[in-house]
Amino acid sequence: MSLYTIGQASEEVDLTPYTLRYYEKEGLLPDVTKDSAGRRKYHDDDLQRIGFIKCLKGTGMSLKQIKEYGDLYEQGKAKFKERNAMLEEHREKILQEIKTQKKYLKMVEAKIEMKI
């Protein structure tokens, strides 16, 4: 299959239809096509894009920043540098976050071992 209703897409990407419409309204998903009855039709590349949005969001990027990234993406290779700079900066942020999580993990483990 390569076309999905909003219900099917929402199952596929594990987001509610509400959220998918919200993301679209916020400009994160441009060009979602509609059928003759006005119902959204998601393509595989839409799902891929949503997958990457989930990745950025899951690593702490705000929807506003994700939109900025998406807008650069829309402008193709003209904005390749800016886009990649954003990703590289974000990569550093993720690395830092993993470090912090590991530190916090140790704190929690120490507390568990403390037994008081």
Tell the smallest beta-carbon distance from residue 76 to its own copies (Å). 9
94 binds its own copies (CB under 8 A): yes
Contact 20, 6 (CB under 8 A): yes
* Helix 17-25 and helix 6-13, axial crossing angle in degrees, nearest 10: 100
47 binds DNA (CB under 7 A): no
Region near its own copies per CB under 8 A, out of 3-11, 15-23, 38-46, 55-63: 55-63
What pairs with residue 3 in β-bridges? Answer: 43
Contact 66, 104 (CB under 8 A): no
Work out what residue 62 binds among its own copies, DNA, none; the CB cut-off runs from 5 to 8 Å by kind.
DNA
Q: Please name the residues in contact with 65: beta carbons below 8 A apart, sequence gap of 6 or more.
A: 56, 86
Contact 73, 83 (CB under 8 A): yes
45 binds its own copies (CB under 8 A): no
Which residues sit at the interface with DNA, rule CB under 7 A? 5-8, 16-19, 21-22, 34, 36-40, 57, 62-64
Q: Footprint of its own copies on this chain (CB under 8 A)? A: 52, 55-56, 58-59, 77, 80, 84, 87-88, 90-91, 94-95, 97-98, 100-102, 104-105, 107-109, 111-112, 115-116
